[in-house]
């Protein structure tokens, strides 16, 4: 859509309206339009003050990210903001919605800022791998003080209206119920009455920061954003810029901005931003109207069921939870109430809202009859085919026609579950991640016979729950767990060959994952891995290496964190776990039994194998159509498996390394285990064509 900027004058007040749906991003069209409108304002002798406001759901939400990486086009944003600030007549910006990045920078070029109640302000550029590049690093510190500005820029968080007011970023907050223009007219009239003129932030004194405070901020930031460059560079831009005259500070900011713009981290973070929005754009959903998703049924009130219930309740939905008997239903209700209480403690929910949810929108029962009105039912009982089938038979009897029946199974065959109902086209998988009210990933698993409307309903529900929903086809483990099993197996291969689990975890966390595979297994419980091995044993290819040390640990009752011992030993001195010499002994014994001469691995060798295994299996997942596109894999790994966002996801990362290089490595590893290291056909095909995963995303 074309950006529109309109100019209108009422009495002495010029009204400049920005209209560039959906979020008024500052693309070249909008920038040019603002320049023209400002020229009109200056030429209009009757206009004594201008109000800039925006149409739609938000004031400007930032620069137009789609322009990043392309040749910049004039008028450039910093020039526009400087030009605005230099005007000889006062300008007021009225902010609503999410005024972010370039939007806030534009507003800081104006002489006065009025917020609508509920407005959120921020400079989230560092989360995209860049820094505020239109004066934000120079103007925000002058307005809010250096420490507050550094915190806002590095955290990328959205600042609420009251806080923005107390920091001085907003001059005033409008009363409730006014449209941006109405509120702006009122304040402009007041400013005129007071004889207010232009007030330029660039002319305000540069703020200081004590060297000790700055050192502390740098240390904390480096720790929190380990591996990333944008946050520390934003600090440099602000602090070094404040020591220079304003104009020089702006130039310095620009130079650092351009450097970040060229960085692979920026490319990765922008890829992640758009990939998260593209996952829900699927040809099969075009023009399909989803069914209702207001009344949710949940079967099973254990770890997952209660989390799913809380997620739906926090999103404002009505939830009925079914447990095995009245006692279990009462326990599930208490569990849900306790989780909601935690949300109150963390400030995410008001106490009155919690009371309203428990009194009116949530019930736990043991009788399926309570589900007769449910729009969507999500089953989360034990991972056992017979139990799940019995549940689906009951759902088939009790649910209304058109109700969507979903299973949260991790591995079981969904068509096999659907087959026990008289309505398999209404059945799909909704695979949540633990804890379900916190984790944002939702895999929407689509068996062949599922109706498109039912798939669309899954996505509609995901949106209501504020999840990032990814479509997955049916296979063992869907997208995420299937790939996970393979890169974990690569880790086991390395441990057998001589690496310690601790070396693997360290190398993987240095790469950017929050935890390594062995620490994660301790957290999830080693009993889960044991059960998975049991489940797969009957169908296993004899050439597959499966370590026995996990079974030894399981037999000793070492189930990970919950038992105090897993790959790591946990105790008061080591709440996060200490390496365990006994585990190393168990592994050494297995190496000896298998006649393996242990060798050492560098962190680079570990990461190379771990990532090659991940990319190779991901290529299979895409090649088989389990994931619609490589970007769906990236989003799955980013939101469900802790893949470092600033590396964009495994497929984006692989493109950056060069697929030829990854294939060459895999072929090299074949001498270690020819069965495990078989290159994925899609990887071979792309390398032969000189193509990459990005090209498949664009197709």
Q: How far apart are CA 223 and CA 230, in angstroms?
A: 13
Give the residue, chosen from 391, 486, 491, 611, that forms a contact with ligand NAI under the rule CB under 6 A. Answer: 391
DSSP structure class, residue 26: B
| Residue 245's binding partner out of ligand 3HC, ligand NAI, none, with CB under 5 to 8 Å set by partner kind | none
Instruction: Respond yes or no: is residue 15 known to be catalytic.
Output: no
Map residue 70 onto helix, strand or coil. coil
Map residue 50 onto helix, strand or coil. strand
Give the residue, chosen from 382, 596, 599, 681, that forms a contact with ligand NAI under the rule CB under 6 A. Answer: 382
CA dihedral (112, 116, 118, 124) in degrees, to 10, reads -40
Identified catalytic residue from 15, 36, 67, 105? 105
Binding of ligand NAI by 387 (CB under 6 A): yes
Say how many residues make up the chain.
699
Least distance in angstroms from the C-beta of 387 to ligand NAI: 5
The alpha carbon dihedral of 621, 622, 627, 631 has a sign of: positive
Q: Measured from the CB atom, is 230 or 403 closer to ligand NAI?
A: 403
Q: How far apart are CA 660 and CA 665, in angstroms?
A: 9
Cα angle 265-478-621, degrees, rounded to a multiple of 5:
60
Q: Measured from the CB atom, is 25 or 626 closer to ligand NAI?
A: 626
Query: What is the DSSP track for 504-531?
Result: HHHHHHHHT-SS-HHHHHHHH-HHHHHH
Instruction: Respond yes or no: is residue 105 known to be catalytic.
Output: yes
219: Cβ contacts below 8 Å, ≥ 6 apart: none
Least distance in angstroms from the C-beta of 104 to ligand 3HC: 8
Identified catalytic residue from 15, 85, 125, 276? 125
Give the residue, chosen from 90, 101, 135, 305, that forms a contact with ligand NAI under the rule CB under 6 A. Answer: 305
Binding of ligand NAI by 304 (CB under 6 A): yes
Q: Measured from the CB atom, is 561 or 652 closer to ligand 3HC?
A: 652
Residues 464-493 that bind ligand 3HC (CB under 6 A): none
Binding of ligand 3HC by 63 (CB under 6 A): yes
Binding of ligand 3HC by 226 (CB under 6 A): no
In the sheet that holds 362-365, the strands lie side by side as 362-365, 318-322, 295-299, 376-379, 404-407, 427-432, 441-445, 468-472
Window of 96-104, 227-235, 544-552, 691-699 that interacts with ligand 3HC by CB under 6 A: 96-104
Give the residue, chosen from 6, 11, 22, 544, that forms a contact with ligand 3HC under the rule CB under 6 A. Answer: 22
Window of 286-294, 421-429, 431-439, 618-626 that interacts with ligand NAI by CB under 6 A: 431-439
Give the residue, chosen from 57, 66, 277, 303, that forms a contact with ligand NAI under the rule CB under 6 A. Answer: 303
Give the residue, chosen from 20, 137, 138, 408, that forms a contact with ligand NAI under the rule CB under 6 A. Answer: 408
Q: Measured from the CB atom, is 247 or 342 closer to ligand NAI?
A: 342
Q: Are 320 and 371 in contact (CB under 8 A)?
A: yes
Give the residue, chosen from 33, 90, 101, 577, that forms a contact with ligand 3HC under the rule CB under 6 A. Answer: 101
Relative orientation angle of helices 603-623 and 630-640, to the nearest 10 degrees: 130
Closest CA to 53 of 81, 105, 91, 83: 91
Closest CA to 673 of 596, 620, 618, 601: 596
Question: For the chain, first and last CA: distance in Å?
Answer: 23
DSSP structure class, residue 560: B
Identify whether 570 is preceded by a cis peptide bond (ω within 30 of 0): no
Least distance in angstroms from the C-beta of 409 to ligand NAI: 5
Residues 120-159 that bind ligand 3HC (CB under 6 A): 124-125, 128, 132-134, 136
Binding of ligand NAI by 329 (CB under 6 A): no
> Which residues contribute to the site for ligand NAI (CB under 6 A)?
299-305, 322-324, 328, 380-383, 387, 391, 408-410, 431-434
> Which residues contribute to the site for ligand 3HC (CB under 6 A)?
22-23, 25, 61-66, 77, 98, 100-102, 105, 124-125, 128, 132-134, 136, 277
């Amino acid at each position: 859509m074309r950006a529109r900027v309109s100019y209108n004058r009422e009495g002495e007040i010029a009204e400049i309206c920005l209209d560039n749906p959906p979020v008024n991003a500052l693309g070249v069209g909008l920038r040019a339009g603002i320049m023209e409108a400002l020229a009109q304002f200056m030429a209009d002798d009757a206009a004594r003050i201008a109000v800039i406001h925006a149409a739609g759901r938000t004031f400007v939400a930032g620069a137009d990210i789609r322009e990043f990486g392309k040749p910049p086009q004039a008028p450039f944003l910093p020039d526009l903001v400087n030009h605005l600030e230099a005007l000889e007549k006062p300008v007021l910006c009225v902010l609503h919605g999410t005024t972010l990045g370039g939007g806030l920078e534009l507003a800081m070029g104006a002489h006065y800022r009025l917020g609508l109640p509920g407005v959120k302000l921020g400079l989230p550029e560092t989360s995209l791998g860049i820094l505020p590049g239109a004066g934000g690093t120079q103007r925000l510190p002058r307005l809010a003080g250096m420490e507050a500005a550094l915190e806002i820029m590095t955290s990328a968080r959205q600042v609420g209206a009251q806080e923005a007011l107390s920091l001085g970023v907003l001059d005033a907050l409008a009363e409730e119920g006014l449209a941006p223009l109405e509120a702006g007219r009122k304040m402009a009239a007041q400013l005129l009455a007071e004889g207010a003129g232009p007030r330029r932030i660039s002319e305000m004194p540069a703020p200081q920061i004590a060297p000790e405070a700055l050192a502390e901020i740098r240390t904390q930031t480096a720790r929190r954003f380990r591996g990333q460059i944008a946050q520390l560079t934003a600090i440099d831009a602000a602090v070094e810029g404040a020591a220079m005259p304003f104009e020089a500070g702006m130039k310095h900011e620009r130079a650092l901005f351009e450097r970040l713009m060229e960085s692979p981290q920026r490319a990765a973070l922008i890829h992640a931003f758009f990939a998260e929005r593209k996952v829900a754009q699927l040809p099969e959903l075009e023009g399909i109207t989803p069914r209702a998703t207001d009344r949710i049924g949940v079967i099973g009130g254990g770890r997952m069921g209660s989390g799913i219930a809380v997620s739906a309740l926090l999103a404002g939905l009505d939830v009925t939870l079914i447990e095995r008997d009245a006692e279990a239903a009462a326990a599930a209700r208490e569990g849900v109430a306790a989780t909601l209480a935690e949300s109150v403690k963390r400030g995410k929910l008001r106490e009155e809202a919690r009371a309203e949810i428990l009194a009116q929108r949530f019930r736990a029962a043991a009788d399926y009859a309570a589900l007769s009105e449910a729009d969507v039912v999500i089953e989360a009982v034990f991972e056992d085919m017979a139990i799940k089938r019995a549940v689906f038979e009951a759902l088939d009897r009790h649910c209304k026609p058109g109700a969507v029946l979903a299973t949260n199974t991790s591995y079981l065959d969904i068509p096999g579950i659907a087959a026990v109902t008289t309505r398999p086209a209404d059945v799909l998988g909704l695979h949540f991640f633990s804890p379900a009210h916190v984790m944002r990933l939702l895999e929407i698993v689509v068996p062949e016979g599922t109706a498109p409307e039912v798939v669309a309903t899954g996505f509609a529900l995901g949106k209501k729950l504020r999840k990032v929903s990814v479509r997955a086809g049916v296979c063992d483990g869907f997208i995420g767990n299937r790939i996970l099993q393979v890169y974990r197996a690569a880790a086991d291969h390395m441990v057998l060959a001589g690496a310690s689990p601790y070396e693997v975890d360290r190398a993987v966390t240095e790469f950017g994952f929050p935890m390594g595979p062995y620490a994660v297994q301790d957290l999830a419980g080693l009993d889960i891995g044991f059960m998975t091995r049991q489940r797969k044993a009957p169908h296993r290819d004899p050439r597959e290496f499966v370590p026995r040390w996990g079974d030894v640990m399981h037999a000793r009752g070492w189930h990970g964190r919950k038992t105090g011992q897993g790959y790591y030993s946990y105790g008061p001195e080591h709440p996060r776990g200490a390496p365990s010499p006994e585990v190393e002994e168990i592994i050494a014994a297995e190496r000896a039994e298998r006649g393996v001469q242990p060798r050492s691995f560098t962190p680079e060798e570990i990461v190379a194998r771990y990532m090659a295994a991940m990319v190779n299996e991901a290529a299979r997942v895409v090649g088989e159509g389990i994931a619609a596109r490589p970007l769906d894999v990236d989003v799955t790994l980013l939101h469900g498996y802790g893949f470092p966002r600033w590396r964009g996801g495994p497929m984006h990362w692989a493109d950056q390394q060069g697929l030829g290089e990854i294939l060459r490595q895999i072929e090299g590893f074949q001498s270690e285990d020819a069965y495990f290291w078989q290159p994925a056909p899609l990887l071979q095909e792309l390398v032969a064509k000189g193509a990459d995963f990005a090209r498949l995303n664009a197709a």
